Amino acid sequence: MDPAPLQVFSGSSVTDYAKRIMALVAAGKNPATYTGTDLITGLKSFVQSGQLGDTSLINDDAWGIMALSAVGTPSSDTLIKSSAQFLVDNQNTDGGWSWGVGFDSDTNDTAAVLMALAEAGYTASDSPVSEAVVYLASQQNNDAGFPYQLPCFWPGCEASDSASTSWVIGAFTKLSLDPASWQKTGVSPQEFLLTLQTGDGSFKWQAGDPAGSAGMTAYAVVALAGKSYPVKTGNYLGGSGSGPTPLADLAIKFTNESITINEGEQAGLTVKLINNGPTMAQNVVAELTLPEGLELVQATPTDGVFDQNKNSWTFIRLNNFAAAELNLVLSSVKAISGEISAVVSARELDFNQTNNEAKASFTAEVIAKSAEV
């Protein structure tokens, strides 16, 4: 992507600053310098009563939190915490949020707030989040997609659309809730979203639209890629002299370096993932590769989410000096000799990549059958 068009900026609101900051970080540019204006300082200048921007608005706090997180602000930051509390304090009784305080909930703003709360350290088990998930469940249509709002009083907004569905998928992904499990009549939200893709690759807003658009396509690509907002983060808190700097040292290892079993038997193996600091790591992904003939019977993580179809272990965040384990049960249906590998990566730059891969040898031996009497 050519970031040059992002260099001209004339915003006047929190959302103007926040969205430009996130776009610049995604493009690998420093929001403190690239436009000739320190957008990070500019964003913080909108603080009122401990929250970001207009006290009658919800969406500016959500976007502001995501932008602050994108530039490397920790979830423990006072402004992030107070802005998140403002969101929680203004949650509607149905569990959702609107763009403004006191207005009816909608799926788009609820999804954005959930992503912001996740950046502020909230998890799916926290009451504000779980209540919002219940609200979103009530909004899902029978085609598995999501509309802007149910009930709705302007034409077309009760029908499922690509923007709303993409935002909800992103929120579920951020909270480590599998979007594919939210099925209606055997169809997942992702599968519904794909029905809106046109022959030229773009995505329509709704099924009846004649063509796709760049905006809807951008939303859909993020959702279908299993991503959420902010799409990318860095450390840009040092002002004009800063840039994307290494934030964490991630290490992965197996508890055993070799395993030998008899053909047809099962064996246990534990993968350990460690964040050696100095800061929290976000959007961590560990990929597991098995030799041909070795079956993964079960994978149980102590933290994060494991996708057995992709053999991938993901975390929204792994705290500083935290560790997590993935307990595997393996089985071989034939005699094999091979190597298991696990590779970890994160959205942040990892300053020590010598410990990002682990390997273990695996051997399944043939059992000699005894002669029948």
In a shared domain, residues 282 and 189: no
Q: Which of 164, 192, 224 is the last residue of a domain?
A: 224
pLDDT of residue 185: 93
> Is 258 a domain residue?
yes
pLDDT of residue 369: 44
In a shared domain, residues 303 and 358: yes
In a shared domain, residues 167 and 273: no
Distance CA 8, CA 3 (A): 10
CB 80 within 8 A of CB 73: yes
Q: Which of 161, 189, 224 is the last residue of a domain?
A: 224
- Identify residue 355 by its one-letter amino acid code: N
> Is 26 a domain residue?
yes
What does the block give as tokens for 291?
Answer: 């030799």
Residue 102 has pLDDT above 50, yes or no: yes
Nearest 10 degrees: Cα torsion 323, 304, 91, 107 = 150
Rg (the chain; Cα; Å):
23
What tens digit of pLDDT does each residue of 267-305 get? 888 889 888 876 667 678 888 888 888 888 888 888 888
In a shared domain, residues 275 and 350: yes
pLDDT of residue 177: 93
> Is 232 a domain residue?
no
Per-residue confidence band for 370, with pLDDT thresholds at 50, 70 and 90 = very low
In a shared domain, residues 161 and 23: yes
Per-residue confidence band for 321, with pLDDT thresholds at 50, 70 and 90 = confident
Per-residue confidence band for 357, with pLDDT thresholds at 50, 70 and 90 = confident
Nearest 10 degrees: Cα torsion 75, 77, 78, 79 = -80
In a shared domain, residues 54 and 203: yes
What tens digit of pLDDT does each residue of 147-184 get? 999 999 888 889 999 999 999 999 999 999 999 999 99
Residue 120 has pLDDT above 90, yes or no: yes
Mean pLDDT, the chain, whole residue set: 88
Overall number of domains in the chain: 2
> Is 28 a domain residue?
yes
In a shared domain, residues 207 and 62: yes
> Is 75 a domain residue?
yes
> Is 235 a domain residue?
no
Residue 305's CATH number: 2.60.40.1530
Q: Which of 161, 191, 224 is the last residue of a domain?
A: 224
Domain assignment of residue 300, given as a range: 246-365
In a shared domain, residues 65 and 195: yes
Q: Report if pTM > 0.95.
A: no
